[in-house]
Structure 1
Amino acid sequence: MTDFTHVRAHPSRARILLVEDDREIAGMLRDSLSEHGFDAVVTQSGLEMDRVLRKQDFDLVILDVMLPGENGFAICRRLRLETQMPIIMLTAMGGDTDRIIGLEFGADDYVAKPFNSRELIARIRGLLRRAAYATPSVPRPEILTFAGWRINPVARQLTDPDGVHISMTTAEFDLLLAFCENPGRVLSREQLLSLTHAGLAGPVERSVDVHISRVRQKIEPEPKEPVMIKTVRLGGYLFTPTVERV
């Protein structure tokens, strides 16, 4: 029987954890990831994933929704409470409702089966780039502040007015950073996708609204009546606080 578990590790290669119980799909993805310069470890359930994560570090997770035992949505929500590592959901359910559920549970992107392996590789590279696993060519050492909050673009940390670090997904952080770098300017969804480099990863436009809703939950005093990230009808979104660089 073919072993789909490991691809030989290389210290300079990004490490991908694939949680997929279909051995044919897992083998195809493992080979594709290896051909494009990634190291891959394949697991077939949430329990097996947990055992591997206790022993190894990874740069990104590809997570199938339909798994034996704990499903992918539940695993995604649990992972997001523990790590900011990028998560791509992989599923045969391609409807907008399922896609939005995955994003609301903390996934950074969502790929429906059947999929083009080259497209998936492009999405992986885009997420790794956005998550700063690759060294940026031009460092941005400034700390940005707004309404008592502090955002560190290099360390990719958000700190609330009480000095508490707030956990954010890659997409959430990138959106907030885009707003902080463009205060007082109405940004369309297309502009936000471009500013966060999400165009390479290819999430649907609706995902911008989902991620902004999650950002509001973390920074707005009253998320249902936002005052910092305002919706502009037929325009996009407006970040209202004054932003300073320190």
Structure 2
Amino acid sequence: MASPMSPGQQPTIATENGRAARPVAVPSGAPLAVRGLTVSYGEKPAVFSVDATFPAESMSAIIGPNGAGKSTLLKASLGVIPRLSGDVYVFGQAIEKARERIAYVPQRASVDWDFPTTVMDVVQMGLYRRVGLLGRLSGRMAARARDCLDRVGMADFAHRQIGQLSGGQQQRVFLARALAQDADLYLLDEPFAGVDAATERAIIDVLKTLKAEGKAVVAVHHDLSTVRDYFDHVFLINVRRIAEGPVATAFTTGNLQATYGGRLAATHLDELSPTGGA
């Protein structure tokens, strides 16, 4: 993992020919800014020299084809997997100094659902940052966990074993755990994958409420047909950064074609991006 920089130092961004490029400024108010991030599995880079800036009080989608590096970008930003190079900033600080401002919802497929724990226990895990792993939760914190379950429609399942839930219910519980952290930045890896329509609506309603409360949401997303309805900002990736910006200007036919490399039918592209253009 790249080491933190000294105060005032700007990141050096790798270029394709190996020469150092001009340092890139880091927006001080951006909830998440990535500069020159590279991740490699063996000799093949999964993410190469990526810059990305995700705006405040917005819902941002990371999109791209399978194997494009979407989840890798998110995990490497968090430090869940090591990055070969690059730097990550949260509200202008190196991420190592601002982890308490982040809540993370992993892919449901990556979780051991056979672990013997209840729904309430999972949500209360989001509070351990405040009391420590061996600390006792106050009555107020326990009430907060119940409130977070209520927000995602899972209060009646508080004492159910987590493995007994459906996929959509499990995803709601992990979102409740993230809510319990009362973070400023919420990072979600494929939050709608494998969930039913009712759960998808419930999750998006919660995320839009977070945005209205001044929080920032960044989600790896796979359903292109809902990008315009769900998100304000979009980041398109296929190993390298293809484009980023407001959905109205960046989610275009040209950018989608460049991202997906001709894998999307022309009629489908027109439906997704009625404005067209590059």
Relative to the length of structure 1, the TM-score reads 0.30
TM-score by length of 2: 0.28
Choose between structure 1 and 2 for higher RCO, CA contacts under 8 A separated by at least 6 residues. Answer: 2
